Structure 1
Amino acid sequence: MNLVKTYAGLTKEIYFLCLARTINSIGDFVFSLITLYLTLQLGMNVVSAGIFVSLAALISGPGVLLGGYLSDIMGKKTIIVGGQFLSSILIMSCIFWSGTIAVAYILIIVMFSISVTRPAYNSLLIKLSTGEKERKSAFSLMYLGANLGIAIGPLVAGYFMRDYINFVFLGISIVFLLSTIIIISLVKVVDDKVFTKFEKESLNNHNSQHNSSPILKIIMKRPLVAYFIIISFLNYFIYMQASFSIPIQMNSSFGENGAAYYGSVMTINAMCVIILTTLILSITKKITAINSIAIGAIFYGLGFGILGLLDYSTNFIIVALSTILWTVGEILIQTNINLYIASRVPDTHQGRFNGLLLFVGCLGYTISPYLTGIFINNIDIENVWLIISAFSLIYSLCMLFLLYLEKRSIRGKLNEELDF
């Protein structure tokens, strides 16, 4: 597959934005950094370290909401630059507090400042691209770059984490700063804050309509977008199984070698993302975002569902095949999930709606381990995969129902025009 041909034709601003996101992702492993710092440097037990990680996850929810709002009001590029620069300074300050618990609290604040930039990245990429096909390529390129960065960062940092933690802090700080410089100097944005007639009217009437929110008006006018965001909760709930239930399954199936096998799962996942993303984009370029997500949910169901076979055979081939299948689902969904909102929400509200989508994602990631843990405690882990597979099928059907509602809505509008 010709990588250059697949991503050709995008603007230079999109390429630089994706490059900045790739570089940023090299240092974007704060969850792991908190865990490793507390356990390796301070000798804290896993349970206590988990509390700090949970706090970091919890604070990211308000972060994406705030980031979405501010990116619409202050400008998307401004929020990315501000959030990343603050993250760079905070990470650098960890050097002066190294060896103390203060670092953990600083890293939680870093998680907040990073989360603020997430909706700004998505909404800026939408602004810089036009049409669903171009946006599909742009989000695919950003997704591929982000995964490359995520694969490189922890791998390099792992060699220095135990004995040279300050070099890790310095390296991450430089990475964030370099990404910020690229955004400032090479990503040119025209009219980053352009208000539509609707937005102007909302602002002018703000004093006389305190009980009415502009974002609420947009949601009420676009109920299908609200429906899409709500059902996207299932995507994040299901995908969290890769980080929560699969490690448990590996320990259950392979005993003391479980951690090593889970490492192999993550390696297969990373390799599939790097190898298959471009191929899948090429194949599905003419398929709508809704259909791509519905197909991706089916792959989720197949991939996670076949792990139930480990109840009968502990052959790692089953795990490898499972990983390939759910990774295909991951690629299809994650490269398309922002596209639906992109073409149905005005530019003035892209940040806020992307923030809402990411906030729903945080809820899914937070609730999934708790609820799945209850499932595991009441039935064996192998049977849990049947439940996850069922959730995947429900997610796919929900997307197809959304497609049906859209087509019916379009037919209704056409009929009204003909009657007129």
Structure 2
Amino acid sequence: MSLFKTYAGLSRDIYYLCLARTINSTGDFVFSLITLVLTLQMGMNVVSAGIFVSMAALISGPGVLLGGYLSDVMGKKTIIVIGQLLSAIMIISCSFWSGTLTVGYLLIAVMFFISITRPAYNALIIQLCTEEKERKSAFSLMYLGANLGIAIGPLVAGFFIKDHVNIVFISIGTVFLISTFIIINQVKIGTRKELASTNSEHAGQEEQQRSSQPPSPLFRLLLKNPLVAFFIVVSFLNYFIYMQYSFSLPLQMNHSFGENGAAYYGSVMTINAISVIILTTVILSATRKLTALNSIATGALFYGIGFGALNLLGTFPHFSIVALSTVLWTIGEILVQTNINLYIASRVPDTHQGRFNGLLLFVGCLGYTLSPYLTGIFIKSMDMESVWIIILAVSLFYALSMIILWYIEKSSTRRNEMKPLDHSKSI
């Protein structure tokens, strides 16, 4: 199916939101930027630079939680605009303190404000789309656009970052400002609601009354939604597995191919990027009729097969195995990452989407943070290739968890005689 047909029919607001996210993502490589600036420009050792990267990773956890809460209270578009404007100001300010340690702290602040916008983006897509198929296409389009931006941004910045780092700072800040300008002027919140309403004054009063109500405690909401809570907790495994591409995989390349390991790992990232660009639309078309849980379970299986295949490098150290493995786990990445927000979208009302998406992203931060540590313990206690069998087992458990959750919901739906879920009771 063509790209146009796959993403046709989405609202104008969604197209502009995805365009803004694509443009924004070209400058969204702060982790790499911290490392490169501190080591290349300032000559800082790897250990010290790693501390700054770790600080940026840790602060993103509270950032997504705060962003989720504020997007429910202040509005999703408002939080995106504020977060991106502050990010732009901070990163442009880095050009005034170039060559000083202040740059490291400013980039940590940038990471915090970027993380604030993440749950707001997800919640805003859910708000703008009314049906699950439409949401699936929207999340897929945003995922594709973000990957395009991430592929282009660091590539271009690499030519300037060593000798002209100020150009990089100003360029990224400008990119954030352009993205923010598009959202302010082109993404209209409530357009559909206004068209459907025959009494705008009444709608405004209702909105004001809703916004004036104090938000319910997140813990209480989770207790009333045990299946959603289970889904969020188990999603830790997704981020734990996915993190292997940036931790265990480069170690495996060095272990299997020696001094050529770094070059091979670069090839892996290229294969991953090309696969995402080519396969995202195809996979969306092929799985359009699958539920979010079934799609995630299928993606977890591809995770397991793809990463598990790397165990063969112990016997057959050929890059062809790595290339095939990369395509397989990339298919898993596409299936999981484009569907993981859909489950929450259909089970949580708009008034709480920000907080639930923020919590999901927070669990993701935990997965990304703990995965290298825990996997490092596995590698230390056994040979390098054996760790991929553990990842295979974790992937299968993740897939099984999604299938069990799907079965429980299906059984519950039958018991309720196929009645639609009442959000007012679940929340």
Q: Which TM-score band (shorter chain)?
A: over 0.9
Question: Displacement of 1:411 after TM fit?
Answer: 2.5
1:352-401 alpha-carbon deviations (Å, 9 max, x no partner): 00000000000000000000000011101100000000000000000001
**Distance in structure 1 (CA, Å) of the matches to 2:379 and 2:205:** 50
**1:227-376 superposed matches below 5 A:** 227-376=230-379
Shift of 1:332: 0.3
Amino acid in the other structure paired with 1:85 = L
How far does the alpha carbon of each residue in 1:12-38 deviate from its partner, in whole angstroms, 9 at most, with x for none?
000000000000000000000000001
1:273-324: per-residue Cα shift (whole Å, max 9, x none)? 0000000000000111000000000000000001000101110000000000
Aligned structure 1 segments of 4 or more residues deviating by more than 4 angstroms: 191-197, 199-202
Superposed displacement of residue 202, structure 1:
10
Structure-1 separation of matches of 2:78 and 2:13: 15
Asked if 1:9 corresponds to 2:12, the answer is no
Q: CA deviation at 1:203?
A: 3.6
Query: Shift of the alpha carbon at 1:46?
Result: 1.2
1:68 paired residue number:
68
Report what 1:183 is aligned to.
Answer: 183
Q: Is the 8 A contact 1:195 1:348 kept in 2?
A: no
C-alpha offsets along residues 115-161 of structure 1, whole Å, 9 cap, x if unaligned?
A: 00000000001101111111000000000000000000000000001
Shift of 1:413: 2.1
Amino acid in the other structure paired with 2:5: K
Residue aligned with 1:248, SS = helix
Offset, 1:412: 2.7
Distance 1:247 1:392 in 2: 20
- Residue deviations 1:162-217 (CA, integer Å, cap 9, x gap): 000000001000000000000000000017999999x969947x8xxxxxx43333
Shift of 1:114: 0.1
- Aligned partner letter, 2:179: S
Partner of 1:28: 28
CA contact (8 A) 2:73 2:211 kept: no
- 3-state SS of paired residue (1:185): helix
8 Å CA contact retained: 1:119, 1:351 = yes
What TM-score do the two structures reach when normalised by structure 2?
0.93
Matches of 2:79 and 2:144, distance apart in 1: 23
- Aligned length in residues: 409
User: What amino acid maps onto 1:63 in structure 2?
Assistant: G
Matches within 5 A, 1:157-196: 157-190=157-190
Q: SS of the residue aligned with 1:414? A: coil
* Aligned 1:143-222 pairs, distance under 5 A: 143-190=143-190, 203=213, 213-222=216-225
Within 2, Cα distance between the matches of 1:377 and 1:287? Answer: 40
C-alpha distance in 2, partners of 1:330/1:232?
A: 13
Asked whether the 8 Å contact 1:194–1:347 carries over to 2, the reply is: no
Distance 1:261 1:143, change over 3 A: same
Aligned residue number for residue 386 of structure 1: 389
The 1:416–1:134 alpha-carbon spacing in structure 2 relative to 1, beyond 3 Å, is closer
Q: Which stretches in structure 2 are left out of the alignment for 5+ residues?
A: 195-202, 421-427
Gaps of at least 5 residues in structure 1 are 207-212
TM-score with structure 1 length normalisation?
0.94
Q: Secondary structure at the match of 2:85?
A: helix
Contact 1:194–1:348 (CA under 8 A) maintained in structure 2:
no
> Aligned in 2, Cα 1:250/1:340: closer, same or farther, shift over 3 Å?
same
**In structure 2, C-alpha distance between the alignment counterparts of 1:307 and 1:100, rounded to whole Å:** 42
Corresponding residue number in structure 2 for 1:408 = 411
Counterpart code for 1:291: N
Output the CA distance in 2 between the equivalents of 1:239 and 1:216.
Answer: 27
Post-superposition shift, 1:405?
1.1
Shift of 1:408: 2.0
CA deviation vs aligned residue, 1:207-229 (integer Å, no higher than 9, x gap): xxxxxx43333222211111100
Q: Distance in 2 between matches of 1:189 and 1:201?
A: 15
Aligned twin of 1:210: none
Contact 2:18–2:142 at 8 Å: present in 1 too?
yes
Helix, strand or coil at the partner of 2:340: coil
